[in-house]
Amino acid sequence: MTGRNKSTDRRGQILRTAAALFIKNGYSDTHVRDIASLCGINISTLYHYIGSKHNILEMFLVYSYDILEKFINQHRESLYNSDPVETLRKSLERYISIVDENQDLVVFWYQEAKDLTPLQFQKQIRLEEHIVQFYEELISWGNKNGSFSVKDVKLVANNIIVTCDMWAFRRWMIRKHFTLKDFNKRQIETIMTQVMSNS
């Protein structure tokens, strides 16, 4: 693993840890030493990665954007060159795995966005729009070639995001009844039924 990859992995660990603490204790009551302690590093090392606690919120946005941009680019390459049904299935499998890997960050966006500055909040809105637009594009392509039958593309695209994100923000309930594998399979089936029979 290169030094850059190690740095990226460490930064991701710090951000996921910070998100979990912000959810548990609130942003204002979470201290830098708490984040460092849970990450198993000293405070000076932590500051090397984040600069300050205030910077973490901006880093959340950059980190989330990078993850979603990589996801979108991977699936957009095959968007018009393969079966939209298969592209949708594969993208959903990957998106749910991203939610699982970053579940505390997902929950943070749903319940702690109030701590963002107005400018940061607008960036978060654009981030959400970015992933929704990808699914709008995919669904529209499926409509055009006859694979899907969706009238309200924007609403269904938003439904897809919320359906997948449920693994994170409803985890205390969902995980009593479903494994990740079961959740993945059933939610994909639900979404596929919706886009192929929507009227």
3-state secondary structure of 107: helix
Q: Give the CA distances from residue 76 to residues 52, 130, 152, 159, 160, in Å, rounded to whole numbers and listed in that order.
A: 36, 13, 21, 20, 17
Q: Which CATH number fits domain 57-197: 1.10.357.10, 3.30.1490.20, 3.40.50.970, 1.20.1080.10?
A: 1.10.357.10
b or e along 130-167 (b: 16 or more beta carbons within 10 Å of the residue's beta carbon)? ebbebbbbbbebbbeeebbebeebeebbbbbbebbbbb
Domain ranges of the chain: 57-197
C-alpha count within 13 angstroms, C-beta hemisphere, residue 179? 2
| Cβ 100 vs Cβ 180: under 8 Å | yes
Q: How far apart are CA 25 and CA 12, in angstroms?
A: 20
pTM: 0.85
Q: How far apart are CA 196 and CA 193, in angstroms?
A: 5
Average pLDDT score over the chain: 89
Query: pLDDT per residue over 22-75, tens digit each?
Result: 989 988 899 999 999 999 999 999 998 988 888 888 888 888 899 999 999 988
Query: pLDDT per residue over 165-191, tens digit each?
Result: 999 999 999 999 999 999 999 999 999
